[in-house]
Structure formats: structure tokens, C-alpha cells
Homo-oligomer: A and B are copies of this chain.
Amino acid sequence: MEYPSKLIEDAVNQVSKLPGIGKKTALRLVLHLIKDKAEGTFQLTDALNKLRAGIRFCLHCHNITDSEVCSICASHRRDKSLVCVVEDANDVMAIENTAQYNGLYHVLGGVISPINGVGPAELKIESLVNRLNHGQSEIKELILALSPTMEGDTTAFYIHRRIKDLSVKVSVIARGVPVGGDLEYADEITLGRSILGRILFG
């Protein structure tokens, strides 16, 4: 596609680097910004610049935070004996929104994926082991809440192997039929797991 302006071309190229946004969508967004007030664009770019320059990661759990230690790690009301291991910061947000969990987190920053060049060294696994090995560690249980994919399972196995000598209980979140889901629409593997992982009623 030929663009009427170099500025448009540069902007489209930059915007289309974002995941899930192609050149056509990028052009639509860029033309929207031009049509809108200039202030709108400057507010957007300002928020992104401030974000990228100011964002920090919690010293303990590597979750996104505005300060040195995130509000969850710093809270006195959280159960410090539980640590939930997740892939990304948005998983923390998702679990927090359930209001069913009161422990701490550990954000790995991804999962082991040789195809994408992500090995254990690229993730915060060493930091997790150090957290468990730490002399004053109160952690009694590690909940692995990784995606039920090949990469997620590989990561779970790797973590389990690394810490199997420590006196920490390791659990994984339950796999089963989604609440509100119809049995006949569940895939066989999920349905099979939901039978294997059945729990006593009442």
C-alpha cells in the first residue's frame, strides 16, 4: 500500500508491530488519531511513555508495581505460606478478580518454549527457587497456575523437578468442565480430566 505521507507510513509501521494489529487496522487507528483532537494523541503517547519509563517489577514476585515491592507482597493480610506461580501479570489480575485467593504470587514472565527461544534461564524460576530456599521462607505450598498447554505443562514439570527436594507442597489448579458449560460441548481431554479429578460431593 502507498501512503500519502511519510509520517503516516512511519506511524502505521510502528502501530502494526503491536500483537494482533495488522497494517489495515493500524491505518484505521492512525487515521482516527488524525481526525480526532491533537490532545487525544498526546495524552495517549504521554501515558505510554510514562508507563514504559516508570513501570517497575516487584522485587519478590516480579509482578507489575509502582513501587519497589508490590501491594500484594507488602500486604499484612495475605497468607504468606501460599505462593501461586503464574505466567504473566494479567494472570495475577485475573486471579485477583476471582476474590478466591489470599496468598502471594510469583510471576515467571512466560513459559518454557524452545520454539520461541525461551528456556528456564529467561524466566524467573531461579528467583522462585531462591524464594523457597531462603532461610526465613514461610512458604508451605506452591500452586502452579500455568496454561494447560504443552509449554505450560513443561514449565510445571521443570519447576516440580527443581524443587522436589524442598519441603514444599506443590499443587496445580483443577482442570475440568467450566462452570455454566454444557457437558456435551466439553472436549474429551477436559471431560476426562474432570472425571479423574472428581471431588466428594457436599
Contacts and interface: CB of A to CB of B under 8 A. Distances in A.
Contacts of A43: 14
Interface residues of A, number: 60
Nearest to A92: B4
A168 interface: no
Contact of A45 (B49, B65, B70): B49
B55 A5 contact: yes
Contacts of A119: none
A90 B27 contact: yes
A11 B45 contact: no
Given A17-B44, A27-B90, A45-B48, A64 B34 contact: yes
A126 interface: no
Contacts of A38: 52-53
A63 B2 CA distance: 14
B28 A66 contact: no
B49 A41 contact: yes
A177 B45 CA distance: 43
Interface stretch (A18-26, A133-141, A194-202): A18-26
A63 to B, nearest CB: 6
A40 B1 CA distance: 23
B10 A70 contact: no
Contacts of A179: none
A47 interface: yes
Contacts of A20: 25, 28
B41 A7 contact: no
A161 interface: no
B34 A4 contact: no
16 contacts: A4-B72, A4-B92, A4-B93, A5-B64, A5-B65, A7-B47, A7-B51, A7-B54, A8-B55, A10-B50, A31-B88, A33-B52, A35-B109, A38-B53, A42-B52, A45-B45
